[in-house]
Amino acid sequence: MAPKKRSPTGQKRSTRGKKSSKSAFLVTEEEEPVNMESMGHPEIYPLVLTTKTQEIFNCRIDEDVTDEQPYKLIKKEDILEDFHNRAAVSDFHPVKKIVREYPGDELLLVYDKDFKFGLNFYLIGTEEGKENYLNPPEVPEEQEEHKELVPEDVYVYNPPVSKPWVSLGSEKEIEEESVKESTRQITYMISRKRCEFGAPVTFSDQNASHVKDAYIECTAYPDKNFTLKQLEKDVGMQVIPQVKDTSTQTKWAYPKNATTQYYPREFSEEEKEKLGQSKSVVDFLNNVSTSVEIALQQNEIMNTFIDDWKSLAEEEGIFGDKTDTHLKEYQSFTDLHSPTEKMITCVSWHPTIYGLIAVSVAVRLCYEDRVHFSGKLLLQPSLILFWSFSDPIHPQLMLESPDDIFCFKFCPSDPNIIAGGCINGQVVMWDITAHADRIENVKTGGSRSKKVTLKPMFLLEPDSNKEAMYIRHCAVSSIESGHKKVITDIHWLADTFEINRMGSVFENRSGICCQLVTCSADCTICFWDIRPQKTTTTSQPTEKKKEESIEIPYDVPSTFLHLNLSWKPFSRIKLSKSETSLDHCPTKISLSEDSSLYKPQGTNSIYPLLKDKMLVQSKVMSSEEVNPFHNLEAGLNNFLKPIEDFCTKFFVGTEEGEVIYTDWKMERDPETGRLMTKKPVSLYTVHDGAVHTVQRSPFYSDIILTIGGWNVAIWKEDVMTGPLLQSCCAPKRYTSGHWSLTRPGVFYIGREDGYIDIWDLLEKTHEPAQSQNICITMITCIKPCTFSAKQQFVAVADYYGTLHILEIPWTLSRPSTNEISSVNHYFEREVKHLEYVQQRKIIREQEKKEMELEREQKKVKTYHKSKEQMEAELKLDYESYLELEKTVLINLGLVKVSEVPYMEMM
């Protein structure tokens, strides 16, 4: 089909075979044909010839009209006959007036292959133009040469002529302005006594990492004696020709503007009016309108600048690119309803429900401000928020507490039981069993299967209502008998053992986790038991009367009612310093049996195993509808069976940056008979700040990671000579960290500037493998979690109260084939290295003692020498000196060999 044509005014012309009215035909006859007068060719009229028209006039492209002969002579009578047959549909209709007034019999039609004039053909409307095209005039060569040889204006170059130098006094001025040294140079001579040459040098050991011995800060300060104000400045100038060097290369550089115009050049109003009414401008717009419209249509249909390879790479990244090594943000949570500014203090993933995470928040105030605003803070609730991936705006549950929570943990036996530590030193207990259905309905996938993967955010629709539910605490410890300061860490003891007030280990009678351990800034570590302390029959009626007299709110379960406001620790440990009366201030602890919960098999994570265990327990509880935490007195009367060969030692991190390995077993003082804490097995000051992380590896039960201050250290439990790895000083202070759950050689560390350092011991052991910025403020907590074999996340909390959920890439989540054995081999090498260093220290100490003993013996021998022996030694020294003098003089040529006997006689 022939394309639709346009009139010179840019309007679309109908191609249908309907006859137009007489008035419309008259209007088209009065239209002036469009020529190329604006381009200097008034005799040329562009045309669009369709395929049918080309067949009628025998001017088909590449057949009748070619590159060698791009023109065709068409008879005027044939064109007029075409007007008669097709009327306004004829392709020659725009030049109808030119064809009728043409004086000749044949018109010249030229094929415009390059669209020089905008269309595929153009018609020459004058005889003179046709003659010039067919027979172009030739310019004689003599006239061309004559024009080139006769320039209009002749310029004659006069080269400069050298002249003798005439002095006008400039050399004196240069001599005066030149810089000369006016001050006298001072010469220093440093000498040393000859007796001091070759003197023994004593070296001693020094702790390079100790702040007091090896760290000296030299701060810069302005010295007024050397600050000079410039009052006068001499500047010399000389007129020289400007030389500019330019060069070109094939490499393309991005163009930049070298100058800027303050005022753009614009047409005046008269020039604008004149151009708007100009026929050449209108003709130009009419001619290019078709080409512009075609280009616009092509841009609408297809984007020619799109990068297909980049699109393929983005599509691959959706399913996890194996070459990507950066953490990708998956989701973020922020409490928008809180009126005060709060920070996140602790983060914990729900053990069984996928996509559910709990965070504790606290007000961002220092101690003085907290005391000043204590009245206002009492009116605001202290909460633990439960966030779900299905609803990033509204928290699912809100656990209320008497004060801000700084640490909390889910119970390993029942995830509906939660214990937390407050800033005022109290331990709080919650039971969310009655609200378990509410949080289970918002999990992704609708089932608890381990194979469930998270759906995209826009496909998740929460079934629960948008209003968050506030849950009050079940019990709180006694404020008089508990900790006196903020609780910094809390742990559940495993359900396989329990301890008594002496620290001895026995088999667990209840079969559930019923004991807790906490550490606080009041320099104490406390052990708590959630079971009733007295089970005698005489006390049962009185307790029932007390329970009946206490009014229990309808929304608070009675699970731990026996603990409320009367809960006391059954054992307390104080880490005292031997040299002073002060105590160590613990911040984080790591028990030896924590590794019982972490039992990786191959490349599987620890959390799926733990979740499966809890899942079985929860199913048994739901089937039997009996919760063991509601009958805590069941196993108290059972006989306690001691456990032999149980490791009761644990690691403690302090505020002073110390790492302590101590024992929780108590011993009696032989003098007073009181129970007292054993002395620490080892104590090392490795970190130059408070320790924020003390965590055992999920793959090796005897490997511990400690983070504090500006460095990180890795320890082995049986090695008491020092850390296996101690990093250098970081650019910013470390604030938190965590081991990877699937790769034994990877761990994540958060910094105070919002960056995360990712360490990979298989790649680098002296610095982080990579660093990535997550936020603009301090990172307070890091907690990874595994959802499936192909999807892992890490929760990163910051000081401004935002929880970032980041997706871990393939390279950081998928271990290599022999990574566990390779990292274990690395730790074994470091242990051997420490043993070698310790042996070298012992050898060096022994060598020092032997050298000192030899020196003492030599001093004693010199005192017992006789006078004749001393004279003989002096004579030998003098003779050796004469011999050396003789050889030096002969070598210098000052004395001949013949004169040597004479000198010896002298």
- Kindly write down the DSSP assignment for every residue of 248-264, as one continuous string: --SS------S---SS-
- Binned at pLDDT 50, 70 and 90, residue 504 comes out as confident
For residue 715, the SS3 value is strand
H/E stretch holding 623? helix 606-624
Question: 730-735, long-range: CB within 8 Å, 24+ apart, which pairs?
Answer: 730/757, 733/689, 733/709, 734/692, 734/707, 734/708, 734/709, 734/710, 735/692, 735/778, 735/779, 735/780
Tell me, what amino acid is at 595? Answer: S
Is pLDDT of 485 > 50? yes
The pLDDT assigned to 252 comes to: 66
The pLDDT assigned to 360 comes to: 92
- Rounded CA-CA distance 355/350 in Å is 8
- Rounded CA-CA distance 442/390 in Å is 6
Q: Which of 129-133, 377-381, 485-489, 493-497 has the highest mean pLDDT?
A: 485-489
The whole-number average pLDDT for the span 163-168 is: 84
Q: Which of 324-338, 498-512, 697-711 has the highest mean pLDDT?
A: 697-711
Per-residue DSSP letter, 6: B
- Rounded CA-CA distance 316/46 in Å is 52
Quick check: 87 and 107 in contact, CB under 8 A? Answer: no
The pLDDT assigned to 421 comes to: 93
Selection from 42, 62, 60, 43 nearest residue 51 by Cα: 60
Is pLDDT of 6 > 60? no
Quick check: 104 and 127 in contact, CB under 8 A? Answer: yes
Selection from 233, 562, 589 nearest residue 429 by Cα: 562
Quick check: 106 and 74 in contact, CB under 8 A? Answer: yes
Is pLDDT of 190 > 60? yes
- Rounded CA-CA distance 77/765 in Å is 95
**Two tokens at 483?**
């900790």
- Rounded CA-CA distance 838/480 in Å is 48
- Rounded CA-CA distance 906/904 in Å is 5
Per-residue DSSP letter, 41: B
Phi and psi torsions of 492, nearest 5° = -90, 135
Assign residue 553 a region: left if phi > 0, alpha if psi is -120 to 50, beta otherwise? beta
Quick check: 430 and 473 in contact, CB under 8 A? Answer: yes
**Residue 649 CB neighbours (<10 A):** 16
Q: With helix as H, strand as E and coil as C, how does 303-330 read?
A: CCCCCHHHHHHHHHHHCCCCCCCCCEEE
Give the model confidence (pLDDT) of 323-354 as tens digits: 577 888 888 888 877 767 888 999 999 988 88
Quick check: 94 and 47 in contact, CB under 8 A? Answer: yes
Give the model confidence (pLDDT) of 590-639 as tens digits: 887 654 444 443 334 444 444 454 554 554 444 344 577 777 776 666 67
CA distances from 500 to 505, 527, 575 (A): 7, 9, 19
- Rounded CA-CA distance 850/211 in Å is 33
Tell me, what amino acid is at 341? Answer: E
Is pLDDT of 463 > 60? no
**Residue 614 CB neighbours (<10 A):** 19
The pLDDT assigned to 255 comes to: 67
- Strand pairing report for 734-739 and 746-751: antiparallel
The pLDDT assigned to 310 comes to: 66
Least confident of 80-84, 244-248, 473-477, 559-563: 244-248
Quick check: 454 and 355 in contact, CB under 8 A? Answer: yes
Give the model confidence (pLDDT) of 858-898 as tens digits: 777 665 666 778 888 889 999 999 999 888 888 888 877 76
Indicate whether this model's pTM tops 0.85.
Answer: no
Strand 427-431: give its sheet, edge to edge: 405-410, 417-422, 427-431, 475-476
**Two tokens at 166?**
């005439």
- Binned at pLDDT 50, 70 and 90, residue 517 comes out as very high
**Two tokens at 705?**
């990671």
The whole-number average pLDDT for the span 537-547 is: 44
- Strand pairing report for 505-507 and 487-492: unpaired
Give the model confidence (pLDDT) of 33-88 as tens digits: 777 777 777 788 888 888 888 888 888 888 888 888 888 888 888 888 888 888 77
Considering only residues 236 and 637, tell me which one the structure prediction assigns the higher pLDDT. 236
Give the model confidence (pLDDT) of 289-328 as tens digits: 999 988 888 877 777 777 777 666 444 433 344 557 788 8
Return the residue matching tokens 């271990």: 815
- Binned at pLDDT 50, 70 and 90, residue 237 comes out as confident
Is pLDDT of 375 > 90? no
Helix then strand count (H, E) for the chain reads 20, 37
Q: Which of 130-139, 504-513, 654-663 has the highest mean pLDDT?
A: 654-663
| Measured CA angle at 137 (ends 136, 142), to 5 deg | 140
Residues 6+ apart with CB under 8 A from 352: 415, 448, 611, 614, 615, 618
**Two tokens at 640?**
């306690």
Considering only residues 194 and 612, tell me which one the structure prediction assigns the higher pLDDT. 194
- Binned at pLDDT 50, 70 and 90, residue 251 comes out as low
Is pLDDT of 549 > 60? no
On the CB side of 130, how many CA atoms lie within 13 Å of its CA?
17
Q: Where are the alpha helices (DSSP H) in 797-892?
A: 810-813, 819-863, 867-892
Considering only residues 757 and 544, tell me which one the structure prediction assigns the higher pLDDT. 757
Quick check: 109 and 121 in contact, CB under 8 A? Answer: yes
Selection from 728, 766, 773, 769 nearest residue 750 by Cα: 773
Phi and psi torsions of 588, nearest 5° = -140, 145
Least confident of 83-97, 296-310, 408-422, 740-754: 296-310
- Kindly write down the DSSP assignment for every residue of 141-180, as one continuous string: HHHHHHHHHS-SS---------------SHHHHHHHHS--
The pLDDT assigned to 75 comes to: 81
- Rounded CA-CA distance 870/872 in Å is 5
- Rounded CA-CA distance 806/770 in Å is 16
The whole-number average pLDDT for the span 479-495 is: 89
**Residue 780 CB neighbours (<10 A):** 23
- Kindly write down the DSSP assignment for every residue of 516-547, as one continuous string: EEEEETTSEEEEEE-S-S---STHHHHHHHHH
**Residue 683 CB neighbours (<10 A):** 17
Cα dihedral 262→267→270→276 (10° resolution): -150
Is pLDDT of 397 > 50? yes
Please state, rounded to an integer, the average pLDDT across all residues of the chain: 77
The whole-number average pLDDT for the span 5-29 is: 39
**Residue 37 CB neighbours (<10 A):** 13
- Kindly write down the DSSP assignment for every residue of 352-412, as one continuous string: SSTTEEEEEEEE---HHHHHHTHHHHHTSPEEEEEEETTBSSS-SEEEEESS-EEEEEE-S
- Strand pairing report for 487-492 and 515-520: antiparallel
The pLDDT assigned to 408 comes to: 93
| Measured CA angle at 303 (ends 298, 308), to 5 deg | 140
- Binned at pLDDT 50, 70 and 90, residue 216 comes out as low
**Two tokens at 435?**
């609200």
The whole-number average pLDDT for the span 789-794 is: 87
Selection from 726, 580, 719 nearest residue 207 by Cα: 726
Per-residue DSSP letter, 477: B
Give the model confidence (pLDDT) of 725-740 as tens digits: 988 888 899 999 999 9
